[in-house]
Amino acid sequence: MTVWHSARVSDTPDPDLSLAAPNLGGAVGIQAFDALSRRLRPALMRYFQRRTQSASDAEELVQELFLRLLRRADLFAIQNLDGYVFEAAANLARDRVRRQQARGGRHFDLDDIDAATDEPSPEQVVDGRKRLDLMLAALDSLPPRARTIVILRRFESLTYGQIADRLGISVSAVEKHMVRSMSALRAALATTAD
């Protein structure tokens, strides 16, 4: 099994990765995947670490997620790739919880299980997807700098100071962008939900 690390120094593709990921389309695809991995790995590690409380479990989940992404033939054709990656991460975290619960040694009487509460209804799934689409559309409607600040704060959990340093602006400018952006997102979601 190939272990994917984001701190790759060489520009030459890993031959093991080429064998494990025939869907990436050669060296260009491997370099694009490497760039995606380097960019999203820190946020994914934080995401999984908050859910597992373990750095090693988080690392394992990040590795599993990247292996799943490698198998996706049309990965770079996905319009909102970051959103897809984090949705896949959420699914992977839920799957892990279910597996742990199944292995936890708890036994249930089948008569005590309410199947309707175990899985969301089709209506809930459709409603959730609509809300996600609305949120992504509202996020896409923000000016580029404001959108970047929201993503860094909400998805990568950076502090206002870290965002200010990264973007070369003041902390108060970051705060103003966040206030305006969150207000605009709430307004966009409120008008589309009616």
pLDDT on residue 97: 81
pLDDT on residue 10: 38
pLDDT over 50 at 7, yes or no: no
Cα distance between residue 162 and residue 151, in whole Å: 13
Cα distance between residue 86 and residue 84, in whole Å: 6
Cα distance between residue 40 and residue 20, in whole Å: 20
Flag the least confident range among 94-103, 138-147, 164-173.
94-103
Decide which of 122 and 110 is more confident.
122
pLDDT on residue 2: 40
pTM: predicted TM-score of the whole model, two decimal places: 0.44
Please compute the mean of the pLDDT values over residues 32-50 and round it to a whole number. 89
pLDDT on residue 118: 54
